[in-house]
Amino acid sequence: MKRFVAVLLVLFLSVVAISIIGCGNSKKTDRNASRVSVTDAQRKRVEAILAAVGWQPGSYTLDVDVSKDTSKAGEGSFTAQAVRTPQELVEFFGASSPAAEEIITSVSSTTGDSVEDVRNLGNWVAVQGLAEFTYPGNTSFKDGRITGAGVRKGKAGEIFLLYLPTTATAPPIAVRTACGNPQTVLPRPAGPVPAGPPPPKGELTPKDPSQDPWPRGNAPVAGGPNADPGPGPYVPPEEMEQPPATPRVNPPPPVSPPPNVHEDPAPAPRPEQEAPTPVSPAEDYSPPPG
């Protein structure tokens, strides 16, 4: 009997131990998980953000398959192990390493969100490119600080994590999953960015000028009544007051007055000047000696 009770006790403790271990592991990321889920609200917001920088439907997916990730870490990595999902990135933030703090500071200063917002799992979404793309604002971790790393190419299948700011006016920011490197500019599709989405197919019909000729510039000769008749009642042209049938006689042209022409008067003759004469010539004269 004692042996039977001992066996039952051992079995009971084993079940308790297994339960405890299972609960502990359930809080950590299962790095063998293949798919990453995303809510409908997140999906709509991410689609709008990516469309604004040139991503077209079919060039990426939010139904991320981690097993198909083609990203590779290089020099200046923030993480020793790739953070392929939002949960793995948030767990990395919990390590409180200098690299993790640099990422948090970069995201917080760029978006204006708090540190708690950046650590919030619900503000991150994984995006997987289905064609080649670029990281125009790649960074690296050097000497304990974030430094610029130029442009890096992303391969088809590569995953990046997109942070959704809490305010719609704040700029979103991305992190490369291979090495945790924040991006100063959102990843862009390869090639020139299109001006806008292509027109929908199957909804355009040829114009029919007979249906609306006036707005299309195909109005018949003489047109029709003006859409804005203006003040007063409308008077047809044939009922308007007509000019008389007799030819018009123009009045004579006005006579211009003669020009005001006059001659300047001749100048008066200048008086002749006479040499002055002495008052007493005899008194003033003194003959020379001799």
The structural domains of the chain, with segments of one domain joined by +, span 31-189
Residues 6+ apart with CB under 8 A from 137: 148, 183, 184, 185, 186
The per-residue pLDDT for 254 is 87
Query: Average pLDDT by consecutive 10-residue portion of the chain (290 residues)?
Result: 45 34 33 68 90 90 86 74 86 85 88 91 91 86 81 87 88 84 86 51 53 51 56 79 82 81 72 71 61
Q: Is the pTM of this model over 0.75?
A: no
The per-residue pLDDT for 230 is 63
Phi–psi pair at 159, nearest 5 degrees: -110, 140
**CA proximity to 138, closest of 70, 187, 189, 88:** 187
**CA proximity to 80, closest of 104, 99, 94, 106:** 99
Q: Are 45 and 164 a contacting pair, CB within 8 Å?
A: yes
